[in-house]
Amino acid sequence: MDISSLRERQSTEPMTVAQLNSYIKNLFDRDKLLLTVSIRGEISNFKRHTTGHFYFTLKDSESQIKAVMFRSATQKLKFLPENGMKVILRGSVSVYAKDGSYQFYALNIEPDGIGALYLAYEQLKAKLEAEGLFDRFTKLPLPKYPSKIGVITSPTGAAVRDIINVIRRRFPPAKIYLYPSLVQGSGAEENLIEAVDFFDRSKLCDVVIIGRGGGSIEDLWAFNSEALARRIFSAQVPIISAVGHETDFTICDFVSDLRAPTPSAAAELSVPDIRELFITVDGYQTRLTSALISHVKLKREKLKSIEQSKVLKNPLLYYENLKEQVEDLKESVINAYGRKLEVTKNKLAVIAEKTNALSPLNVLARGYSVVSINDKVIKSADELKINDEIQIRLSDATVFASVEKIYTEEKNDEKEYKV
């Protein structure tokens, strides 16, 4: 239904809500000022929908308006909008007929007062740093004496010539492998990732240099790629980043194992200076020669001292000295053995005297005797009975007898006979 028919119908019957909202939407859509408009404000209530659309409110100190940015437009942004961010929106104002509300349909968002690329760079830098991709302890050490060096850069730029010239001058034995790649514009990010992937998987080189000459932030933008940063971080080959001039910093610089201010500096850091190595080797040679001369001189002096010793002049004197030592040792052993034997004899005499004092024979010699039956010593009269055959051991003989009477003397002096 067009506007003219709505105006004619308005005088005859009421409109529906949908007709009114549609009428208002048509008014908005026909207004040239609202079709292309830029507005400045602060983002709040920002929501990133799973569909990829952005929903938020743009406000200033006095008013606010709802805004939406569809996925087709959000995919072109270099940064992610955030609450509190001051921005400039470019787009149109229209009515959402379903609920009768009007809102801003954004086609582009620019940070207010700061470039979109720089903001995207700062956001990605903060994100990767929080994840630990820039941590020092994750960096791989560079080899001291690399034999093969990989270079990822444009084959026609000044950077590749600088790198090759410096490496050939500093360390001619090293071989250089160039992986030609785009370093700016469409396809550069993919080329750089492919190059890193090649060197990492092939293990062809000991160290890799990735970089290019200077330029604007737009020119260097391929080196601010999140995908490239993560591929460099996961690589097992050490990577030196040399992007732009000394004052230029990219995400690639932070995530690499070493950042060089220029491509030439990267080449210097990748290899040692062969002239310094020659000087070092010459120093080692001088020290080694001096040490060998000193060692030989010391050995000669020692040999001369040995030649002049009495032993070599009179070898028998050496054996005479040994003979005297053997005699001294022999006398010491005999004396020690004699003293040990005397001590042992004294101990044995003492033990024999104690043993003799405890001998039963000494007891018998004093007038005592031992009565036994079949070699069993009788200790009590209760163990005897009349007619038992007994043996009586005296000090000098054994008497065999038979029991005829047993007399027991009790403590009360009573006498008892057993028959």
User: SS3 letters for 321-336?
Assistant: HHHHHHHHHHHHHHHH
User: What confidence category does residue 331 fall into, taking pLDDT thresholds of 50, 70 and 90?
Assistant: confident
CATH superfamily, domain 121-135+146-272, is Succinyl-CoA synthetase domains (3.40.50.261)
pLDDT in tens, 28-68: 878 878 888 989 888 888 999 999 999 999 888 788 899 99
User: What confidence category does residue 10 fall into, taking pLDDT thresholds of 50, 70 and 90?
Assistant: low
Q: Would you state the pLDDT for residue 217?
A: 79
Torsion of CA 256, 261, 265, 269, to 10 degrees: -40
Q: For residue 173, is pLDDT > 90?
A: yes
Q: Would you state the pLDDT for residue 86?
A: 84
Name the β-bridge partners of 417.
407
User: What confidence category does residue 168 fall into, taking pLDDT thresholds of 50, 70 and 90?
Assistant: very high
pLDDT in tens, 349-376: 888 777 776 666 666 666 677 888 887 8
pLDDT in tens, 182-191: 999 889 999 9
Instruction: Give me the residue label for tokens 């038992």.
Output: 388
Average pLDDT rounded to a whole number, residues 259-265: 93
Distance, in Å, from the CA atom of 190 to the CA atom of 194, rounded to the nearest integer, reads 6
User: SS3 of 221, please?
Assistant: helix
Percent of the chain with pLDDT over 70: 90
Average pLDDT score, the chain: 85
Phi, psi for residue 211 in degrees, rounded to 5: 175, -170
Residues forming CATH 3.40.50.261 domain(s) in the chain: 121-135+146-272
Distance, in Å, from the CA atom of 213 to the CA atom of 289, rounded to the nearest integer, reads 48
Q: Residue 123 is inside which H or E element, if any?
A: helix 116-130
Closest by Cα among 89, 86, 71, 77 to 116? 77
Distance, in Å, from the CA atom of 95 to the CA atom of 27, rounded to the nearest integer, reads 9
Distance, in Å, from the CA atom of 348 to the CA atom of 356, rounded to the nearest integer, reads 12
DSSP symbols for 375-392: TEEP-SGGG--TT-EEEE
**pTM for this entry:** 0.54
Contact 143, 244 (CB under 8 A): no
Q: Pick from 312-321, 330-339, 376-385, 398-407 the range whose average pLDDT is largest.
A: 330-339
Q: Would you state the pLDDT for residue 414?
A: 43
Q: Pick from 289-303, 313-327, 402-416 the range whose average pLDDT is largest.
A: 289-303
User: What confidence category does residue 287 fall into, taking pLDDT thresholds of 50, 70 and 90?
Assistant: very high
Contact 113, 85 (CB under 8 A): no
Q: For residue 407, is pLDDT > 80?
A: no
Distance, in Å, from the CA atom of 134 to the CA atom of 251, rounded to the nearest integer, reads 9
- Taking residue 53's Cβ as centre, other Cβ atoms within 10 Å add up to 15
CATH superfamily, domain 3-114, is Nucleic acid-binding proteins (2.40.50.140)
- Taking residue 107's Cβ as centre, other Cβ atoms within 10 Å add up to 14
Q: Would you state the pLDDT for residue 404?
A: 83
Which is higher by pLDDT, 384 or 271?
A: 271
Q: Side chain identity at 398, as an amino acid letter?
A: T
Residues forming CATH 2.40.50.140 domain(s) in the chain: 3-114
Q: For residue 7, is pLDDT > 70?
A: no
Hey, what are 94's tokens?
């229209």
Q: For residue 412, is pLDDT > 70?
A: no
Q: Strand 389-393's sheet: what is its strand order?
A: 376-377, 370-373, 389-393, 398-402
Q: For residue 419, is pLDDT > 70?
A: no
Q: Would you state the pLDDT for residue 174?
A: 95
Q: Would you state the pLDDT for residue 114?
A: 64
pLDDT in tens, 199-257: 999 999 999 999 998 887 778 889 999 999 999 999 999 999 999 888 788 999 999 99
pLDDT in tens, 68-110: 999 999 988 888 888 878 888 999 998 888 888 889 999 998 8
